[in-house]
């Protein structure tokens, strides 16, 4: 049965069928749909899905890249610990070249700081165990998907010389913020598959109950995204009740992954978070509970929050791209002064960044 499902979603003729059915839906007005997943943007750009949509549907990218929305304040803090305290700073590869106030981690490594790329939180744990005489700091960046393995690693008797700078953010309250903000009218959300495997469908029910905004959880094949657009379009056309449609049932459960959520909320509590290009959004971050405070590198090393951090460089439109208020191609620096080889803004650095995806697949209609 599973093989039949995978064969179907890979079938280009099925994509054509879904696109045809989507274009047969009569919408009462022009609508704007937002996705909040970097992998979805890659799927959309690679397959040229926007060219298959009806004229009345506009599909924009929201703040779905955790590296892109990691604030310069947090990067500055991690770099300061590495430089001023001589620690081993570990980070995911996507974070290595993200620009901050005084430069990127890559630039400070070139100046002699001991900054290492890791592929999982367990790599940071192993580095700490292998270097018991040195402090090791892990730059923990991500949404709920990444928070789960980080929590699991830190709850499993971590080395005493390991601590973290955290930039862990929550998706559902960010969606609430986008709707309450109202600067961009959002008629529906394509919800992220990876995050949803952790938090489940029920985490989004407020979209239905409080905002009457239709949404659909989607996988990562082109047909997955098209089916999500079709589901939302049908709901807007009042051919189906407004709600949260789980189209990724092969991976997403109603209530998510209970063990993963248990680990996250054993270690962390919710708090405010600084989103790059947006500012502080209440209740969208994860911070260490008091009993685990010694794992917090800012507490361990006595660092203060820097309100003067340079979040968006002059001329960069990443703040507007992150919010869906501008397309990457509207930025005068896109594909000229800002490329994946030499990124100027955070949205071009990460593989999940909107600008990175548009650059990679530019020319595909």
Give the angle subtended at the CA of 166 by the CAs of 95 and 275, to the nearest 5°.
75
Q: What is the pLDDT of residue 125?
A: 98
Topology given in CATH for the domain delimited by 72-170+256-300: Rossmann fold (3.40.50)
The pLDDT tens digits for 288-321 are 999 999 999 999 999 877 777 889 999 999 999 9
Residue 211, classed as helix, strand or coil, is coil
Alpha-helical (H) ranges within the chain are 2-10, 12-23, 38-47, 72-85, 105-110, 121-130, 144-155, 171-181, 193-199, 205-209, 222-236, 258-267, 297-300, 318-322, 346-349, 354-360
The pLDDT tens digits for 271-288 are 999 999 899 999 999 999
Residue 144 structure tokens = 């709920």
Residue 60 has pLDDT above 70, yes or no: yes
Residue 202 structure tokens = 């029920």
Residue 88 structure tokens = 């081993």
Residue 122, classed as helix, strand or coil, is helix
Residue with tokens 């799927």: 43
What are the b/e assignments for 34-65, b being 16+ CB within 10 Å? bbbbbbbbbbbbebebeebbbeebebbbbbbb
The pLDDT tens digits for 219-240 are 999 999 999 999 999 999 986 7
Topology given in CATH for the domain delimited by 2-66+171-246: Rossmann fold (3.40.50)
pLDDT confidence bin for 98, thresholds 50/70/90:
very high
Q: Which of 220, 213, 212 is nearest to 195 (CA)?
A: 220
Backbone phi, psi, residue 283, to 5°: 70, 20
pLDDT confidence bin for 72, thresholds 50/70/90:
very high
The pLDDT tens digits for 330-340 are 999 999 999 99
**What angle do helix axes 121-130 and 144-155 make, rounded to 10 degrees?**
30
Q: Return the higher-pLDDT residue of 14 and 118.
A: 118
Residue 239 contacts by C-beta under 8 Å, 6 or more apart in sequence? Answer: 25
> Looking at the chain, how many residues does it have?
365
Q: What is the pLDDT of residue 183?
A: 80
Q: Which of 308, 290, 307 is nearest to 299 (CA)?
A: 290
- Indicate the average pLDDT of the chain: 94
Residue 255, classed as helix, strand or coil, is coil
Residue 207 structure tokens = 């979209």
Residue 157, classed as helix, strand or coil, is coil
Residue with tokens 């650095």: 349
pLDDT confidence bin for 364, thresholds 50/70/90:
low
Residue 9 has pLDDT above 80, yes or no: no
Residue 5 has pLDDT above 70, yes or no: no
Distance CA 290, CA 168 (A): 17
What are the b/e assignments for 128-147, b being 16+ CB within 10 Å? beebeeebbbbbbbbbbbbb
The pLDDT tens digits for 105-114 are 999 999 999 9
Residue 7 has pLDDT above 60, yes or no: no
Distance CA 349, CA 357 (A): 10
- Domain boundaries along the sequence of the chain: 2-66+171-246, 72-170+256-300
Q: What is the mean pLDDT of residues 82-105?
A: 95
CB atoms within 10 A of CB 72: 23
Q: What is the pLDDT of residue 332?
A: 97
């Amino acid at each position: 049965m599973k093989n039949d499902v995978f064969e179907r979603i890979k079938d280009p003729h099925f994509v054509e069928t879904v696109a045809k059915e989507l274009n047969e839906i009569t919408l009462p007005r022009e609508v704007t749909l937002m996705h909040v997943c970097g992998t979805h943007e890659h799927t959309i750009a690679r397959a040229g899905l926007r060219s298959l949509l009806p004229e009345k549907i506009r599909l924009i990218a929201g703040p779905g890249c955790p590296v892109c929305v990691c604030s310069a304040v947090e990067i500055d803090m991690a770099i300061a610990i590495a430089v001023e305290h001589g620690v081993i700073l570990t980070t995911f590869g996507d974070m290595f070249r993200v620009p901050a106030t005084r430069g990127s981690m890559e630039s400070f490594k070139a100046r002699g700081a001991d900054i290492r790329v890791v592929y999982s939180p367990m790599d940071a744990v192993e580095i700490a165990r292998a270097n018991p005489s040195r402090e090791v700091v892990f730059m923990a960046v991500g949404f709920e998907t990444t928070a789960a393995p980080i929590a699991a690693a830190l709850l499993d008797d971590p080395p005493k010389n390991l601590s973290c700078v955290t930039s862990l953010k929550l998706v559902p309250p960010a969606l609430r913020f986008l709707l309450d903000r109202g600067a961009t009218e959002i008629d529906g959300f394509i919800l992220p598959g990876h995050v949803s495997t952790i938090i489940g469908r029920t985490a989004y029910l407020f979209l239905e109950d409080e905002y009457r905004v239709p949404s659909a959880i989607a996988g990562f094949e082109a047909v997955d995204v098209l089916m999500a657009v079709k589901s939302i379009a049908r709901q807007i056309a009042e051919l189906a009740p407004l709600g949260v449609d789980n189209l990724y049932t092969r991976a997403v459960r109603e209530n998510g992954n209970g063990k993963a959520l248990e680990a996250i909320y054993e270690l962390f509590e919710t708090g405010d978070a600084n989103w790059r290009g947006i500012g502080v959004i209440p209740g969208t971050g994860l911070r260490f509970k008091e009993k685990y405070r010694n794992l917090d590198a800012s507490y361990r090393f006595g660092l203060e929050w820097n309100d003067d951090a340079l979040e968006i460089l002059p001329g960069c439109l990443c703040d507007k791209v992150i919010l869906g208020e501008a397309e990457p191609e509207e930025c005068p620096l896109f594909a000229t002064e800002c490329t994946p080889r030499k990124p100027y803004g955070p949205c071009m650095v990460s593989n999940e960044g909107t600008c990175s995806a548009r650059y990679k697949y530019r020319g595909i209609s």
